[in-house]
Chains A and B, each alone.
Chain A
Amino acid sequence: MADRREMWKALGMDVDTHDGLCAALPVAFGDVYLSQKNRPEGMAFWDFVVSDIHGIRPAELLEAQKEGRKVFGTFCVFVPDEVVVAANGIVTGLCGGSQFWVPDGEKVLPKSTCPLVKASVGARLGRTCPFFRIADMYVGETTCDGKKKAYEILGEDVPMYIMDLPQMKRECDILKWKDEIAAFAKKVEEFTGNTITPEKLDEAIRLINNKRKALARVFEARKNPDNIPISGTDALLVTQIAFFDDPARCAEMCNKLADELEERNRQGVSVFEKGTKRIMITGTPMAIPNWKLHHIVETSGAAVVCEEMCTGTRYFENLVEEGLPTLDEQFMALSKRYMKNNCACFTPNPGRVEDILRLAKEYHVDGVIDVNLKFCCLYDTEGYSVERALREAGIPVLGIETDYDDGDSEQLRTRIGAFVEMLG
């Protein structure tokens, strides 16, 4: 892949160090993904994307930039893609999910920062991820303290725009978020040189809604109580890639996959044996290539059937109202939809517990694993209410704290194995 090396060099990447990642990723992917049995054929697309993950999409983005389009990098599902798309911009997720980037992040951040933040900062400062190089502007948000302060450091190296996310969900907070979206739209117009019209925004809203609907169809197929048409490990990859892919293509591929999964459900084609215990994972997001927990669960005799996380249901649930005539109404519709996301950064946050209890029913789960990345104070603390509510509802739950490092894999295997044994 010599041509890719040229591209990476031109992007100012540290190509030699990056080679280390290029060497490790296929091995990890082979171990975790290609070793699985009975995979849906449709997964071939995602396998292909991962096989050249720092090549295919970055090359597309570079082409788009040549045509004058701008690329916005985001770190949170609260940043509204619709606004960027309406100005002919492109959004790409920028969350780091590998231990590979952590040491570079630790050069500037406290050790006691969550690995997602450390990896994201490390990927930028270490110049070892093309997406972090390509993005013309980063869009941050005031969610957790770790990210807020990390944005200040990133902002020294790249244009950075911060959206001020409310911490509560009162009526005034929804209005405030609407104003923030309007302000962001202005910024995007300035930066891209394109005007956002109600027509363009409505088109963008429909586009992103379609992507959400397609992802929801994939998840819908996972609700079948008698058949597991796709492994959680594969479904996780689909969601992870959705953060990077072109939204129209993402919708198309997800719909194709959903067709296949629905057919599998009709035919009774399952990835797992009948009676395999169904697990839902709740908590902090799993940025690509963080497949650690899913892999352990699914090689310990259970199946993951749902992820209540931002790389899961929180990404696609709830749609934005379509067909509104004015920007003002559209911004309000966007705010309403986004503010339905029950991230642990809100207080109080009863909606998240309600979501989890609802999802546990919808996906017919036998048990829940509530996971938080080390040093994520928000999800760690909220784990207390989540676990209590689940116990009260008679749903077995296992709380886990982990990071990107593989050092605790064996211990996790024991805990998760014991949890699965406990489910009977």
Chain B
Amino acid sequence: MTTYYIGIDIGSTCAKTVVLAETEEIALSFVLPTGWSSVDTAEEIRRRLCEAGYDPAELACVSTGYGRVSVPFARKTVTEITCHARGAMLLHHSRDLTVIDIGGQDTKIIRVEDGLVKDFMMNDKCSAGTGRFLEVMANTLGLRPDDMCDLARQGGGVSISSMCTVFAESEVISLIGKGEKKENIAFAVVDSIVKKVASQANRLEKGGPVCLTGGLCESDYIRQALGEQLHTQVQAVAEGRYAGAVGAALCARDLMKKG
């Protein structure tokens, strides 16, 4: 009988759950909105897991992400830095890489060397250069974040100077007021976030392939734009948004191995 391990990554906007088989294959994965209460979200996750036949009471489970402490059935919490690094290593089949995760609340850049976290950076308190920034601007434009990223590809010629989300939002509003084309504003928003992330990443010594994880890795345009800023190819895989949860599941496996 194979053993299964559960990893749960409760981020500020989405909660990602992964069940990993001993073979390191993903047996189950699902995303839920985090909502107001991570405790309620955790309960919903438990229900879904049980339904699918993976009772967290019987399997090793590790939680990560900013809501990691709100998962009562997790045996251990591990920070998202460690989890994203381990998840990305598995998903990208590499032990030397630079991981960029543009999360809802914070952006992390992690340097992994020989299978271990060597160094990492996280943005400060403010939300510039995070998924939250993107979401706020998309809202202002009346678009879904992913649609805004697609639209950005067709735009150009405009830029936003403020790093602060609140000021940037009023810049966007005044651009709309001036009748600027939506695609150009979308371009400006994505450009601003990509530059901010790149300048952060440039402070860290890079090595190995650069891999984008987290929800935004599904946007081809962000991946490309980031690659241009960093003068390198940025890789992404389909399960990228589950990197944190996969890493948590790997930590759950360690728990069992250690006994």
Let me know if A422 and B81 touch, CB within 8 A. Answer: yes
B125's partner among A408, A417, A421, A422 (CB-CB below 8 A) is A408
Let me know if B125 and A414 touch, CB within 8 A. Answer: no
A424 proximity list for chain B (CB < 8 A):
116
Let me know if B66 and A418 touch, CB within 8 A. Answer: no
B242: CB under 8 A from chain A? Answer: no
Q: Given the known inter-chain contacts A410-B66, A411-B106, please indicate yes or no for A421 contacting B82, CB distance below 8 A.
A: yes
Distance of A417 Cα from B68 Cα, bound (Å): 12
B5: CB under 8 A from chain A? Answer: no
A421's partner among B79, B118, B119, B122 (CB-CB below 8 A) is B79
0 or 1 for each of A210-238: is its CB under 8 Å from B? (1 = yes): 00000000000000000000000000000
B117: CB under 8 A from chain A? Answer: yes
B78: CB under 8 A from chain A? Answer: yes
Let me know if A414 and B79 touch, CB within 8 A. Answer: yes
A396 proximity list for chain B (CB < 8 A):
119
B120: CB under 8 A from chain A? Answer: yes
A415 proximity list for chain B (CB < 8 A):
81, 122
0 or 1 for each of B25-66: is its CB under 8 Å from A? (1 = yes): 000000000000000000000000000000000000000001
A410 proximity list for chain B (CB < 8 A):
66
Let me know if A414 and B117 touch, CB within 8 A. Answer: no
Q: Given the known inter-chain contacts A407-B125, A408-B125, please indicate yes or no for A418 contacting B79, CB distance below 8 A.
A: yes
B122's partner among A391, A407, A414 (CB-CB below 8 A) is A414
B66 proximity list for chain A (CB < 8 A):
410, 414
Number of chain B interface residues as a range: 10 to 19
* Residues of A in contact, count (CB < 8 Å): 14
A401: CB under 8 A from chain B? Answer: yes
Distance of A396 Cα from B78 Cα, bound (Å): 19
Q: How far is the CB of A145 from chain B (nearest CB, A)?
A: 22
0 or 1 for each of A299-320: is its CB under 8 Å from B? (1 = yes): 0000000000000000000000
B120 proximity list for chain A (CB < 8 A):
418, 422
B117 proximity list for chain A (CB < 8 A):
418, 421-422
Total A-B Cβ pairs within 8 A = 38
Task: With CB as the reference atom, state the residue of chain B lying closest to A300.
Answer: B79
* Interface of A, helix, strand, loop or mixed by DSSP: helix
Let me know if B78 and A411 touch, CB within 8 A. Answer: no
Distance of A415 Cα from B79 Cα, bound (Å): 8
0 or 1 for each of B63-84: is its CB under 8 Å from A? (1 = yes): 0001000000000001111100
Let me know if B81 and A418 touch, CB within 8 A. Answer: yes
Distance of A79 Cα from B123 Cα, bound (Å): 37
B114: CB under 8 A from chain A? Answer: no
0 or 1 for each of B113-145: is its CB under 8 Å from A? (1 = yes): 000111110101100000000000000000000
Distance of A367 Cα from B51 Cα, bound (Å): 44
B122 proximity list for chain A (CB < 8 A):
411, 414-415
0 or 1 for each of A351-391: is its CB under 8 Å from B? (1 = yes): 00000000000000000000000000000000000000001
B119 proximity list for chain A (CB < 8 A):
391, 396, 422
B79's partner among A391, A401, A408, A417 (CB-CB below 8 A) is A417
Let me know if B81 and A421 touch, CB within 8 A. Answer: yes
Q: Given the known inter-chain contacts A410-B66, A411-B106, please indicate yes or no for A418 contacting B124, CB distance below 8 A.
A: no
Distance of A330 Cα from B40 Cα, bound (Å): 69
Let me know if B78 and A421 touch, CB within 8 A. Answer: yes
Task: With CB as the reference atom, state the residue of chain B lying closest to A418.
Answer: B81
Task: With CB as the reference atom, state the residue of chain A lying closest to B110.
Answer: A418
Q: How far is the CB of A376 from chain B (nearest CB, A)?
A: 14
Let me know if B80 and A418 touch, CB within 8 A. Answer: yes
Distance of A415 Cα from B82 Cα, bound (Å): 10
Q: How far is the CB of B86 from chain A (nearest CB, A)?
A: 10
Distance of A417 Cα from B76 Cα, bound (Å): 13
Let me know if B81 and A411 touch, CB within 8 A. Answer: no
Q: Given the known inter-chain contacts A410-B66, A411-B106, please indicate yes or no for A418 contacting B82, CB distance below 8 A.
A: yes
Q: Given the known inter-chain contacts A414-B66, A422-B117, please indicate yes or no for A401 contacting B124, CB distance below 8 A.
A: yes
Q: How far is the CB of A104 from chain B (nearest CB, A)?
A: 23
8 Å CB interface, A41-80 against B: none
A401 proximity list for chain B (CB < 8 A):
124
Distance of A391 Cα from B118 Cα, bound (Å): 10
Distance of A415 Cα from B122 Cα, bound (Å): 7
Binding site for A on B (CB under 8 A): 66, 78-82, 106, 116-120, 122, 124-125
7 A-B pairs with CB atoms under 8 Å apart are A414-B81, A417-B79, A421-B78, A421-B82, A422-B116, A422-B117, A422-B118
Closest 7 CB pairs of A and B: A418-B81, A418-B79, A417-B79, A422-B117, A421-B82, A408-B125, A414-B79
Binding site for B on A (CB under 8 A): 391, 396, 401, 407-408, 410-411, 414-415, 417-418, 421-422, 424
10 extra interchain contacts, Cβ-Cβ under 8 A, other than A417-B79, A418-B81? A408-B124, A410-B66, A411-B122, A411-B125, A418-B117, A421-B82, A422-B82, A422-B119, A422-B120, A424-B116
